[in-house]
Amino acid sequence: MPEQRNVAILIFDDVEVLDFAGPFEVFSVTGDEEKQVRYFNTYTVAETPGSIITAGGLSINPKYTIDACPPPDILLVPGGFGTRREMKNEHLLQWIRETAGSAELLLSVCTGALVIGAAGLLDGLKATTFHTCFDLLREAAPAVEVIEEVRFIDNGKVVTSAGVSAGIDMTLYVVGRLLGEEQARTSAAHMEYDWRP
């Protein structure tokens, strides 16, 4: 049985719901149904305690703050209009740098790439983002090679995806990379998601 990995999913005001909820669902359903074992301990984390208001107006509460969360093996940074603010938030960027340094994987969905790009974590890599934000990513991270018209890009430790639903495809890909494609297919089937790797 695989060792359980901690997955921290960052949330912030004006985050796009499916950017974090889609990957959250994938990670949280991945496991052994018969043994009732989950392979990922998945939790939300925010800079401060209290409610987060998403881009669509949904109010949610993070499980942890960035200063009190379990050390993640996987850190996921979603997108949404709030990334334009967070990419200038040096306190958060420093936490992302430090956390990514010790994590096994750093993932971004949509304009989450702007945040990790602003943190300097895409320098010298290939990356993608939401289809209307390629130029924003080039501005945020001039040393990144922006790739258009792909669902996601795997650089090894850093994996970035295009917008919204592409984050689900990326996360299933990551599950397959870590645990095998059969497990990823099982997770997709559990979600009744039409995954085409």
* pLDDT (0 to 100) of residue 35: 86
* pLDDT (0 to 100) of residue 2: 82
User: Residue 1 above 80 pLDDT?
Assistant: no
Three-state secondary-structure class, residue 187? helix
Beta strand pairing status for 5-10 and 74-77?
parallel
What secondary structure letter does DSSP report for 2? P
Question: CB-based contacts of 86: which residues, under 8 Å, 6+ apart?
Answer: 12, 92, 115
Q: pLDDT (tens digit, 9 = 90+) per residue, 161-172? A: 999 999 999 999
Q: pLDDT (tens digit, 9 = 90+) per residue, 103-128? A: 999 999 999 999 999 999 999 999 99
Reading the block at residue 54, the tokens are 């998403």
User: Which position has the higher pLDDT, 91 or 2?
Assistant: 91
Q: What is the CATH number of domain 5-190?
A: 3.40.50.880
Q: pLDDT (tens digit, 9 = 90+) per residue, 21-63? A: 999 999 999 998 888 899 999 999 999 999 999 999 999 999 9
**Which residues on adjacent β-strands are paired with residue 174?**
none
Helices (H) and strands (E) in the chain, counts: 7, 13
Rounded to the nearest 5°, which phi and psi values hold at 105?
Answer: -140, 145
Pair 161, 128: CB distance under 8 Å: yes
